[in-house]
A and B are shown apart, each in its own frame.
Chain A
Amino acid sequence: MDAKIACRSVWKLYGRDPEGFLAAHGGAPPDDAIEADGYIPAVRHASLEVFPGEILVIMGLSGSGKSTLVRCLSRLIEPTAGEVLFDGQDLLKIPARELIEIRRHKMGMVFQHFALLPHRTVLQNVAFPLEVQGVDRATRENRALEIIELVGLKGRERYYPRELSGGQQQRVGIARSLAVEPDVWFLDEPFSALDPLIRREMQDEFLRLQTMLQKTIAFITHDFDEAIRLADRIAIMNEGRIVQIGTPEELVTRPTDDYVANFTRDVAREKLLTIASVMEAPTDGQPLSDSVVRRTDRVADVARMIVTSEVPLRVADDDDRIVGVVSRTRILDVLFSRESGAGG
């Protein structure tokens, strides 16, 4: 499958003459040279791909370059070097007029602080992207009304942003970004400014929308729990670099370095890990239970069954073949975070 949107070796340096500096070092300057010459590296040599219908979460602490990277993908920020491919076409090479057209029809973005226009009603805010395209009033307002209903704000169309709560304002932000039915959806820490209960509710709402709409999504967050909840894959960034890209389970079971391991340490593994990642190879003559678990089961769902059994259980794959065994000690290790269940 071809990536919907991808970037290759993207750099973003701030300083006196970033292009010249990069060129002088053959496009890949060493860290000490960057520091010595007084350049500030926001993004270093970042490559990633987002496939159609996938949620890629870009995770990192503040200052890690995640916002800059996602703005490079939409060319809100001009990368210093690299390629940004949208449907295989390099966004950095197309003329401004064409870029505006792509933004008008194929991209939507949600912002951390909502970025609503204070002088416009909910309806006018949502209709705004259609308005700048020149869509006539009746059409765009009908379309906006549909989306407002979709995000659960029916009845508030005539309200102004300041008359709404934070959660409601972000629903408007989401509705606005969806008004043009974009293919690619950028969300820049959309729920970070909300309090925890609302945040959870909005995450559910987001997942509900995504099951209906199947957009290609780049989602930024600094909250690892949020990343795990929402992501198909996660890209972890640190000091402008992408340190690891993988499914949540891969990150937990096989962190590439201590930085990633630090994030994954406090994760509730049993909800994340599948039996496949904790099972062992069967040894001969070992007494086994009659019960069978599937390799795709989550640990949390079958833990009770395994822990209450004196002897290990058998693990079956999708074709009902036995591919391994899982013992209560392995499960207890996962539950009490003794050690990551490296294996499977």
Chain B
Amino acid sequence: MAEAAVPSGELAVRRWVAGSGQSGLRVAAFLLAPFVFVLLLGPWLPDWLRAVPEAWSAPFVGWINVIVGVLRTEEIFGLLTFRDMSRAIANLIDYPLDFVEAILVAGFSDSVPGLPWIAVTGLAIVLGWYLQGRQLGIIAGVCFAYMAIFGKWELSMVTLSVVLVAAPVAGAIGVALGILAYKRRWFETLLWPVLNVMQALPHFSYMIPVAIFIGIGHKAGTIATIIFAFPVMARLTILGLKGVSPEVREAGIMAGCTGRQMLWKVELPAARPTLMVGVNQVIMLCLAMVVLASFVGAKGLGHDLLNRLRSLWIGQALEIGVVIVFMAIILDRLSQAWARKEPEHMREGPFHVRHPFLTAGAAVVAVSYILAAFIPALQLWPKSLSITTAPMWDALIDYIIVYAFDYLELIKATLLVHVLIPMRDLYLLLPWSALLVFAVTLGWYYGGWKVAGIQALFALYLAFAGFWERTLITAYMVSFAVIVCVIFGSIVGIWAASGPRRTKIVELILDTFQTFPSFIYLIPAIMLFNVNDFAAIMAIVIYATIPTTRLTIFGLRTVPHDIVEAAITSGCTPRQVLWKVRMPLAFPAIMLGINQTIMYALFMVVIAAFIGTTDLGQEIFRSKADNNAGKSLVVGLCVACMGLIADQLINAWARERRKVLGLA
């Protein structure tokens, strides 16, 4: 190369590693060499290079607990403690929460009942119809009617009311932070890393601090939900505002907008598509979290699901699971339809012609109230008429246990003895110094010194946090699950990408599955494999396969058409087209899918601790039991660090690779 006349030392090393640039194996070998070297050196390394002795571990837990203690007990300005203040603020959330709950189900008093279930169902139909069309209206109606008829109406409405309160609050906080970050450069530099860490923290890490400062209960669950959901909105607000076309912004300036007019009249409306993606995600995260928030006492569907699972009443748990799934589907569909909905010019005429759906909605409410006054079954579906499918599910599970138990046990035992346990023992041999070397080498090669530095920080945190062994166990579970996910996901993805109809079907399934709160995935795992490591891994696999599959399809389907045609005219067989052309080009996308799979797996592994594992997740659960906020945060950060290491490396690699392939 011409410009290679005076390569810097760094560049020279890079060139040397890349060789003639054709062999991925050569690069891999060079990059892994330092790691393998430390690994092989393992048995001769001094102990402290393998696992940091307890005495040396940084007392993060203690420090955080001291801070928490101060915040709990010390009075600021001699008036209130931080805890008093946080509780006072939290009490504010009670007003909207009670209000929405009263409207949806509880009623304001005996004489003013809440909306009858047929009113809510009718409104859902009108809303679905308005946002997209008749089909969505029908789906919405069926989902809500199901909740009523299967006797889950009150629980569902309580859960829905938390979502309806938490989502707007989280959205507003997110938008406000996003705007501030967009306007003030320094705030953005501050906010990004915080958002990154927050989005990598497992759900449970939010709960304990919230429980300490606000207490256990419905309110705390709502607050935890809000805290969990707002980062995504902040992130998408920043992206959306930055993505406003410069011309639109210039049009605003030329019209003579002041700064404030610019923001409210031009930039925010122009960023609507991105903001609406955020709205959809906030709603779905709220639902996922409110189900889990039952651990800190949130009421609703999650609470009952948790109790049923704890008592191993699988049939009933499954039934609640189905309701949650319906809730997820309908919230997702409605919010996506809302996001897609483009403004249309209004027809002229009297009010009901200009606003047909508003009129229909009002009519539905009025008619429902009148009908419900005469027919109580339309106000609240009577328990005696509720249908339950629980006995059927229980029978199914009994059947499975009777006829398939031996096979399932055999699979489980074989895998445990021959794969899982050896793998775990192998992982436990991993010295932290090897991880450090691995992360830094790859970070440097793909991202430069800055990335290498950040990687080193993450690795050192993991080593010195004092939970190294648990980290390794988590790593083993996650990596086994991820391997299974990748194999399974890419096979399904390749199959699905081979024809437009298959793609459509599989994508529909994936879309639906992705909306389910992660907690739901525990149900089939427990159902089939009872409570152990294996069931946990199964739950992770079911949940975390989705992104790999999705991005495999995406990567394969978006390979430029002319390249595929060029391959065919060069005489490639279909198999050659797949393996020599489409797969290499789709590979960066697939890697991003694997990246997401890792994140999903890490989230799930913590939730799966609920069914008894010995990893970091279990530590988080224990810390919840002893109200140890410090520990829950430190361990949560361990999980986050593992995710962030993988995330940063894979992203740096994918960026580099896409640049090489000219896909960026």
On whether the two chains bind one another, the answer is yes
Footprint of B on A, CB under 8 Å?
71, 74, 76, 100-101, 103-105, 107-109, 111-121, 128-129, 131-133, 158-160, 162-163, 176-177, 186
CA of A103 to CA of B261, assembled, Å: 14
CA of A100 to CA of B345, assembled, Å: 32
CA of A100 to CA of B261, assembled, Å: 12
Is the beta-carbon distance between B245 and A113 smaller than 8 angstroms? yes
Q: A115-B247, A115-B251 are in contact. Are A132 and B256 (CB under 8 A)?
A: yes
A114: chain B residues at CB < 8 Å are 247
Partner of B346, one of A100, A120, A158: A158
Give the nearest-CB partner of B347 in chain A: A158
Interchain Cβ contacts under 8 Å between A and B, 28 examples: A71-B250, A74-B254, A103-B253, A105-B256, A107-B254, A109-B250, A109-B254, A111-B251, A113-B247, A114-B247, A115-B245, A115-B247, A115-B248, A116-B248, A117-B248, A117-B251, A117-B269, A119-B269, A119-B270, A119-B343, A121-B343, A121-B345, A132-B255, A132-B256, A132-B261, A160-B342, A160-B344, A163-B344
Give the nearest-CB partner of A182 in chain B: B254
* Chain A interface, DSSP helix/strand/loop, else mixed: mixed
Q: How far is the CB of A81 from chain B (nearest CB, A)?
A: 22
Q: How far is the CB of A133 from chain B (nearest CB, A)?
A: 6
Footprint of A on B, CB under 8 Å?
245, 247-248, 250-251, 253-258, 261, 265-266, 269-270, 272, 342-346
Q: How far is the CB of B269 from chain A (nearest CB, A)?
A: 4
B253: chain A residues at CB < 8 Å are 76, 103
Give the nearest-CB partner of B258 in chain A: A100
Q: How far is the CB of B544 from chain A (nearest CB, A)?
A: 37
Is the beta-carbon distance between B270 and A163 smaller than 8 angstroms? no
CA of A177 to CA of B250, assembled, Å: 12
B261: chain A residues at CB < 8 Å are 132
Other 16 A-B pairs with CB < 8 A, given A111-B247, A111-B251, A113-B245? A76-B253, A100-B256, A100-B258, A103-B253, A103-B256, A111-B250, A115-B248, A117-B270, A118-B343, A119-B270, A121-B343, A128-B255, A129-B255, A129-B256, A132-B258, A186-B254
Is the beta-carbon distance between A101 and B256 smaller than 8 angstroms? yes
CA of A159 to CA of B266, assembled, Å: 18
A121: chain B residues at CB < 8 Å are 343, 345
B270: chain A residues at CB < 8 Å are 117-119
A115: chain B residues at CB < 8 Å are 245, 247-248, 250-251
Partner of B254, one of A108, A116, A120: A108
Partner of B272, one of A119, A158, A162: A119
CA of A120 to CA of B254, assembled, Å: 17
B256: chain A residues at CB < 8 Å are 100-101, 103-105, 129, 132-133
A186: chain B residues at CB < 8 Å are 254
Give the nearest-CB partner of A119 in chain B: B269
Nearest first, the 5 closest Cβ-Cβ pairs linking A and B are: A104-B256, A129-B255, A115-B247, A115-B251, A158-B345
Give the nearest-CB partner of B273 in chain A: A118
Q: How far is the CB of A247 from chain B (nearest CB, A)?
A: 29
A119: chain B residues at CB < 8 Å are 269-270, 272, 343
Is the beta-carbon distance between B250 and A76 smaller than 8 angstroms? yes
Partner of A159, one of B251, B257, B345: B345
Is the beta-carbon distance between B255 and A103 smaller than 8 angstroms? yes
CA of A162 to CA of B345, assembled, Å: 11
Partner of A118, one of B257, B269, B345: B269
Give the nearest-CB partner of A109 in chain B: B254
CA of A131 to CA of B272, assembled, Å: 21
Is the beta-carbon distance between A160 and B255 smaller than 8 angstroms? no
Give the nearest-CB partner of A173 in chain B: B251
Give the nearest-CB partner of B254 in chain A: A109
CA of A160 to CA of B344, assembled, Å: 6
CA of A101 to CA of B345, assembled, Å: 32
Give the nearest-CB partner of B344 in chain A: A160
Q: A100-B256, A104-B256 are in contact. Are A109 and B345 (CB under 8 A)?
A: no
Q: How far is the CB of A160 from chain B (nearest CB, A)?
A: 5
Give the nearest-CB partner of B261 in chain A: A132
Q: How far is the CB of B373 from chain A (nearest CB, A)?
A: 41
CA of A248 to CA of B248, assembled, Å: 32
Instruction: Name the residue in B248, B251, B343, B345 with the highest tally of chain A Cβ atoms < 10 Å from its Cβ.
Output: B251
Q: How far is the CB of B125 from chain A (nearest CB, A)?
A: 26
CA of A114 to CA of B250, assembled, Å: 11
CA of A129 to CA of B248, assembled, Å: 13
A160: chain B residues at CB < 8 Å are 342-345
Q: How far is the CB of A170 from chain B (nearest CB, A)?
A: 12
B248: chain A residues at CB < 8 Å are 115-117
Q: How far is the CB of A116 from chain B (nearest CB, A)?
A: 8
B257: chain A residues at CB < 8 Å are 100, 132
Instruction: Name the residue in B261, B342, B345 with the highest tally of chain A Cβ atoms < 10 Å from its Cβ.
Output: B345
CA of A117 to CA of B272, assembled, Å: 11
Give the nearest-CB partner of B253 in chain A: A76
CA of A133 to CA of B254, assembled, Å: 12
Partner of A132, one of B247, B250, B265, B269: B265
Instruction: Name the residue in B254, B256, B258, B265 with the highest tally of chain A Cβ atoms < 10 Å from its Cβ.
Output: B254
B269: chain A residues at CB < 8 Å are 117-120
CA of A114 to CA of B343, assembled, Å: 18
B346: chain A residues at CB < 8 Å are 158
Is the beta-carbon distance between A163 and B345 smaller than 8 angstroms? yes
